[in-house]
Structure 1
Amino acid sequence: MSICFRPGYERSFGTYPLKGEDLEKAFAAAYEVGYRSFDTAQLYGNEADLGASIRRANVSTDDLLITTKVHPENYTEEQFLKSVQASLNALGVSKVALLLLHWPDPSGDNRKSLALLRDAKRKGLATEIGVSNFTASMMRDAQSFLDGEIAINQVEFHPLLDQSILLDMSFRTGVPLASFASVARGEVFKYPQFGQIGKAYGKSAAQVVLRWILQKGVAVNTMSTKLENMRSNFDVMDFVLSSVDMKRIDALTCTNFRCVDKDKVPWTPEWD
């Protein structure tokens, strides 16, 4: 399998749940480490804080790939474009690199929200558009409905969750996947296999997890407020896991540990 995501998105810095001074410090540190792709959302309530962090760091937005996501409550003709413009104003940009639907449409029909997403791109509010938390069938239908314009599907993806159906659809449709909860919010560290594998490469357990994701052809989205962890998360491009180690990690996907479900997010679909 070859990595199929867009250049620049292979390592993104997630901003949830950071706000205020915490976000300002984290942004400055992440930029210094080398991150240029930054991920936020209307739902996070920190777009304005990210915009302020960028300005205070004296960083040109032309150097950044900013992703934001539209809240499901704004999937109406009256609110959609207004909400996107509000996001751009908060971020201090005229357009974002990537605009996503954060969740499938609660109505059960994604066509209206997808059409509004396409309108946002055509009006110059986003360079590329995509989706998040779409199932395999939803991803296929969205790519067909928008004639191949879906740039990414951001989903929960880590070695403790079997996402083979989504991954297969990714390669069939040409829609790249991007991960969130890349280390399963710390759950992976309960499994000694990652640290054991890492010793052979001079890498940490977290770096092994992130490298596994990348070698699956999936972009990585991580967040940390610790400089050491930021550097570690970014430094995952200089080694390759063997096929034996990849299969050893693959075996853990049957754990099927999921960070996000309907108990946490009401818009959660029935997963594949």
Structure 2
Amino acid sequence: MSIYFQQTYQRAFGTYPLRGETCRQAIAAALATGYRAFDTAQMYENESEVGEALAGGGVPRAELCITTKVGVENFANHLFLASVERSLKALRTDYADVLLLHWPAVDGNIAPPLRQLQKAQEKGLARHIGISNHTARMMRDAKAIVDVPLVTNQVEFHPLLNQDVLLAAATETGIPLSSYCSVARGKVFEVPLFAEIGALYGKSAAQIVLRWILQKGVSLNTMSTKPDNIRANFDIMDFTLSSIDMARIEALTHTNYRIVGRDLVPYAPEWD
């Protein structure tokens, strides 16, 4: 895995739930800001807009890191690879830089889709593969099932949710975490601590939250349609939170505010 990939993947621009011209304009602003990693999924139904925006964005394909995810409805052996090929056609690319399983298999048997995922990589449809929304036990099982490294487990990760079990599994398995819902869909802005700490560093509350996630060893996916916010979300590499401030934020994880549960996604696993 190249240093360029590792550095680029640290800060990705997420595209859910963007569609149409809103999606294309947001990606154009993200490219202008410096984003080179972009995250989409079959489930988002915006791969064609993402592909169009990236193809016309003036950045060479080799400098981009494109992630997409296979939906559970395409996990069957006779559907999996064809669905990936459709995604790549929509994205206007011959390969995904990162191809993920969006969710664990509904029946809990994660082995068949993981083997299809590895097959997609072997056929050159993906440079790297990984998982999303998998539990710690599933991370351990996944590592044993596939013969190649899994580059991430993309999960809900923000300072209002304790994910220590998954962080420990990431260390144990060597499968790094990456975040979605990085600012808890705005819930963090109801907590005064982030703005208070931000005043100490000359940064916004959102930048403090994102920097905390990075310093936890977790890569970021962030989304905004506002150019100023897109730039601010990217501009988090010029400061470091002190151990004291990291600990002050850490205390908030016991809030255990989870956004993506079975009430929202009925086939979500039993979370750690």
Letter paired with 2:204: S
**What residue number does 2:171 align with?**
171
Alignment of 1:184-203 (within 5 A): 184-203=184-203
Letter paired with 1:102: H
Provide structure 1 residue ranges, at least 5 long, that are not aligned to the other structure: none
Shift of the alpha carbon at 1:8? Answer: 1.4
Q: 1:58, 1:253 → 2: CA distance?
A: 40
Letter paired with 2:270: E
Task: Using structure 2 for the length normalisation, give the TM-score.
Answer: 0.97
Higher relative contact order (CA 8 A, sep 6+): 1
What is the Cα-based RMSD across aligned positions, in Å?
Answer: 1.0
Q: 1:54, 1:98 → 2: CA distance?
A: 16
**What residue number does 1:226 align with?**
226
Letter paired with 1:267: Y
Alignment of 1:102-113 (within 5 A): 102-113=102-113
Task: Using structure 1 for the length normalisation, give the TM-score.
Answer: 0.97
1:162-214 per-position Cα deviation (integer Å, ceiling 9, x unaligned): 00000011011111000000000000000000000011100000000000000
Q: 1:101, 1:79 → 2: CA distance?
A: 14
**What residue number does 1:70 align with?**
70
Equivalent residues, number: 268
The runs of at least 4 consecutive aligned structure 1 residues that moved more than 3 Å come to none
Letter paired with 1:263: D
Shift of the alpha carbon at 1:59? Answer: 3.4
Q: 2:56, 2:237 → 1: CA distance?
A: 29
Letter paired with 1:60: P
Q: 1:238, 1:35 → 2: CA distance?
A: 16
- Are positions 1:161 and 2:154 aligned together? no
Shift of the alpha carbon at 1:58? Answer: 3.6
Of all paired residues, the percent bearing the same amino acid is: 56
- The question of whether the paired residues in 1 share the 8 Å contact of 2:31 and 2:57 is answered with no
**What residue number does 2:37 align with?**
37
1:48-81 per-position Cα deviation (integer Å, ceiling 9, x unaligned): 1111112333433222100000000100111000
Q: 2:22, 2:53 → 1: CA distance?
A: 10
- Are positions 1:92 and 2:92 aligned together? yes
SS at match of 2:130: strand
